Structure 1
Amino acid sequence: MLVKVGFVGTGWFTKTHASLLGKINGVEVTAFCGTSLDKAEKEARNFSNATGYTKIEEMLDKQKLEAVYICVPPHAHGPIEYALIERNIPFFVEKPIGLKDEPNEIVRKIEEKGLITSVGYHWRYKDITKRALSLLSDRQVGMALGYWMGDMPMVPWWRDVNKSGGQFIEQTTHIVDLLRFFCGEVKEVYAVYNNQIMEGKVEGTTVSDVGSVTMKLANGIIATISNTCILQNSSKVGLDIYSDEGVIELRNDLLRVMKGSRVEEYKEETNPYLAENKIFLDAVQSGDPSKILSNYQDALKTHRITVAANQSAISGQPIYLG
């Protein structure tokens, strides 16, 4: 079965996923939908049988697509997902899945249709993540510290809190998702944010540029995840887990395991983007989604934590998750 795939969005994530899909046997990229026809056609020209569109309804009416990738800014979610759900088309969506509470209704409709979905929490597909998860199986975790310390992406929508949701929703969601994947579900969130520097440096900045979020998990683990976008380039990004057996540090391409004076390091050897794509498309072909590590229903749990953090930062009060 040849899986014909379309894309909504024309940014970095679309380019990354489409390039990988072009190398997978049995997959053909045939459609791109963008905010302008020029952008969509530019991406389509990279493939021998692809067409550009500006409206998702037109793309879906004119193409017989087996799967669609949604790679758009947070504020653009909603109508795209509903169009695909209505037509029973499986979709892969890049994180975050929305800005606030919109995904609650989307997930209800997904479950009604029994639709196959996958969300781009690619850290779950890393070999070093699998190794860390295995190591944690016989350790008692007490706390975790997470980080996303970097620079501000210079695209206008990102610095507008009403379009991106801010750094904790748009970027640091990866670390929140890792915390859940390793340690379990969060039941209480307390956040402190501030607009410390970037508001005066970059016009139109309404997102907070520094923040820390402390969480209590259902199993008693305490975690704090901090982020900033005031730096000139990417710095510390990852999650440190503290247990009775020592410390496990996970970074983008490195796992460091410390026990007493002994330190072991493991480098990431695979491409997690390729892994998540293959697993999603295999699920579309077979009808079996069991190997997908983050479907929409699971990703919604991560999203609710990040939304609760934003709410706590505004109210100054802890938020309790049901």
Structure 2
Amino acid sequence: MSFLRATFRISTPLRAHPRATCISPGTPQNDDFHVLMFGAGDAMFGTDEGPWNISSKLEHRLGPRLKVDALIDFNGPRAEGRLTTKRESFVHEAYNDTVVLPDIEEFKRRVEAGILKEPRAIFVATPPQARGGLGPDNNLEVKINELFPNSAIFTEKPIATGIPADQSVGEAKAVGAMLATQHKAPISVGYVLRYLKAVQEMKRIIKENNLTVMATNARYVTAYEMALKTDWWDKTKMQGPIIEQGTHICDLSRYFGGEIEIETVAAHSLEAHEKPGHLSKTNYDKSAVLDANRIPRATAASWKYESGAVGTLLHATALHGKDYAIEIEVYADGYQLILSDPFGSPAIHVRKPGSDIAEIHPTPGDDPFQTEMDTFIDTVENVDPAVKILSSYEDAAKTYELTWAVRKSSEESTKRLNKKYNRV
């Protein structure tokens, strides 16, 4: 059932906020922009499953200035295949000299030898279990800071998927604090929905009307037919859909509602073995996932914000086809603000004092992924001091903490019920 009410009125589409085109004195805008990429997977090079594609947005922003010096990935043949595709396209000049390397240490050796350039920016789209921590297998950000403290960092969300949970969250926060105090260049985390025109309009309405948020209500329902990666269906690999995917609306909830009293988080899940959790259209290798490791089919959670406001969340793996069902409602005295379809045709639905009819403001052509990339590059090149990155590493660590709190609470609830009813 949709969160949207049947009574509404179509209003004027939102226009993009004007972006500055002035160039700060001394900012090179015609020089080559040297880049290091981590990860040859879908987040970096695109997929039919969704619009995420870091390389495409980077190419669009920098054009012929882009020079990708190296691609680091544990799967060399896959990385070479990605580069072959790029070299056969109109953006081939950016990748003609790209080398595939096994690790950042080898890249550093080549930079010191004068073979490769020190990168202006490093783009990280490795599996999250390989980053966001302090151990030898997941301390990528620590290594980047040690070897390239002057290179900007763009990293995908979530910032980690480590275990045990408390240790992983603590380490992610420590990494964030280290970067905030030691790293000498901009850092952005890919919580792309913050960059939607509709989201920024909702923030503007709240600010200009001096509103205090009372409640948030978020929903993220996955269309699962195209989810082919076995690891995604195994909660021991990617730590489940709340941490890997629902993190987007957990982050938006925090963006609107503020900091959360983590101890108030309470959640329940529909598990895969329960009758309502049967899915008829899965296309992954089910034999590769143990029954005990199968992801929950739905999770409902609630919490209290430090302000006193309340928040709720529903994540489900339920729909067929390709389009997800995603909405977030924000309530304040006299106001209902709803963001709908953020990855498809985003719109903001506004009900305000003086009318029971919600006005709908479409945002045709909005591309938050491009806005996010443009903001990052503009910040790196100091194009306009007014342009601000919307998701810092320290802030992203708090979203990561929330997602783990939801998962842990839901699992504790499942254990209590299993014990009560003598379930295996």
The alignment's TM-score, normalised by the length of structure 2, stands at 0.69
**Could you tell me which amino acid in structure 2 is paired with residue 255 of structure 1?**
I
Q: Which of 261, 271, 275 does residue 195 from structure 1 map onto?
A: 271
2:406 corresponds to: 309
User: Is 2:242 the counterpart of 1:168?
Assistant: yes
User: Is 2:390 the counterpart of 1:278?
Assistant: no
* Contact persistence 1:279–1:291 (CA under 8 A): yes
2:43 corresponds to: 13
Deviation at 1:90, TM superposition (A): 2.5
After TM superposition, the structure 1 stretch with the greater mean CA deviation from structure 2, 282-291 or 207-216, is: 282-291
**Could you tell me which amino acid in structure 2 is paired with residue 51 of structure 1?**
V
Q: Which of 281, 290, 297 does residue 209 from structure 1 map onto?
A: 297
User: Is 2:127 the counterpart of 1:73?
Assistant: yes
Give the secondary-structure state (helix, strand or coil) at the position aligned to 2:328: strand
After TM superposition, the structure 1 stretch with the greater mean CA deviation from structure 2, 256-265 or 2-11, is: 256-265
- Counterparts of residues 29-108 of structure 1 (less than 5 Å): 29-45=68-84, 46=86, 47-62=95-110, 63=116, 64-77=118-131, 78-87=138-147, 88=149, 89-99=151-161, 100-101=168-169, 102-108=171-177
Give the secondary-structure state (helix, strand or coil) at the position aligned to 1:229: strand
Q: Which of 241, 253, 258 does residue 179 from structure 1 map onto?
A: 253
Q: Which of 190, 193, 204 does residue 123 from structure 1 map onto?
A: 193
C-alpha offsets along residues 99-127 of structure 1, whole Å, 9 cap, x if unaligned?
Answer: 23231232232134134210001111111
Mapped partners of 2:297, 2:197: distance in 1: 31
Mapped partners of 1:145, 1:114: distance in 2: 36
Mapped partners of 2:69, 2:82: distance in 1: 10
User: Is 2:342 the counterpart of 1:246?
Assistant: no
Gaps of 5+ in 2: 1-27, 46-52, 87-94, 111-115, 132-137, 162-167, 415-424
The structure whose residues are more often strand, as a share, is: 1
Mapped partners of 1:86, 1:159: distance in 2: 35
C-alpha offsets along residues 269-313 of structure 1, whole Å, 9 cap, x if unaligned?
Answer: 331111111222232233979711101011111111111112222
Gaps of 5+ in 1: 318-322
User: Is 2:111 the counterpart of 1:111?
Assistant: no
* Contact persistence 1:122–1:276 (CA under 8 A): yes
After TM superposition, the structure 1 stretch with the greater mean CA deviation from structure 2, 196-205 or 240-249, is: 196-205
* Contact persistence 2:301–2:406 (CA under 8 A): yes
Mapped partners of 1:174, 1:214: distance in 2: 16
After TM superposition, the structure 1 stretch with the greater mean CA deviation from structure 2, 307-316 or 117-126, is: 307-316
Change in CA separation of 1:285 and 1:198 when aligned onto 2, cut-off 3 Å: farther
Task: Determine which structure has more spread, i.e. the larger CA radius of gyration.
Answer: 2
Mapped partners of 2:125, 2:387: distance in 1: 23
Change in CA separation of 1:34 and 1:114 when aligned onto 2, cut-off 3 Å: closer
* Contact persistence 1:40–1:54 (CA under 8 A): no
Mapped partners of 1:149, 1:134: distance in 2: 27
Give the secondary-structure state (helix, strand or coil) at the position aligned to 2:304: strand
Identity of paired residues, percent? 24
* Contact persistence 2:217–2:330 (CA under 8 A): yes
Deviation at 1:229, TM superposition (A): 1.1
Mapped partners of 1:290, 1:208: distance in 2: 39
Mapped partners of 2:72, 2:279: distance in 1: 33
* Contact persistence 1:75–1:162 (CA under 8 A): no
RMSD of aligned residue pairs (Cα, Å)? 2.4
Mapped partners of 1:27, 1:167: distance in 2: 34
Give the secondary-structure state (helix, strand or coil) at the position aligned to 2:60: coil
Change in CA separation of 1:85 and 1:289 when aligned onto 2, cut-off 3 Å: farther
Deviation at 1:55, TM superposition (A): 2.5
2:220 corresponds to: 148
2:12 corresponds to: none
1:267 corresponds to: 362
* Contact persistence 2:266–2:410 (CA under 8 A): yes
**Could you tell me which amino acid in structure 1 is paired with residue 269 of structure 2?**
Y
Mapped partners of 2:357, 2:257: distance in 1: 23
Change in CA separation of 1:246 and 1:105 when aligned onto 2, cut-off 3 Å: closer
1:24 corresponds to: 61
1:320 corresponds to: none
* Contact persistence 2:212–2:332 (CA under 8 A): yes
**Could you tell me which amino acid in structure 2 is paired with residue 174 of structure 1?**
H
After TM superposition, the structure 1 stretch with the greater mean CA deviation from structure 2, 289-298 or 170-179, is: 289-298
2:417 corresponds to: none
Give the secondary-structure state (helix, strand or coil) at the position aligned to 1:154: coil
Residue correspondences, number:
317
2:20 corresponds to: none
* Contact persistence 2:173–2:394 (CA under 8 A): no
* Contact persistence 1:41–1:52 (CA under 8 A): yes
Mapped partners of 2:108, 2:327: distance in 1: 38
* Contact persistence 1:5–1:27 (CA under 8 A): yes
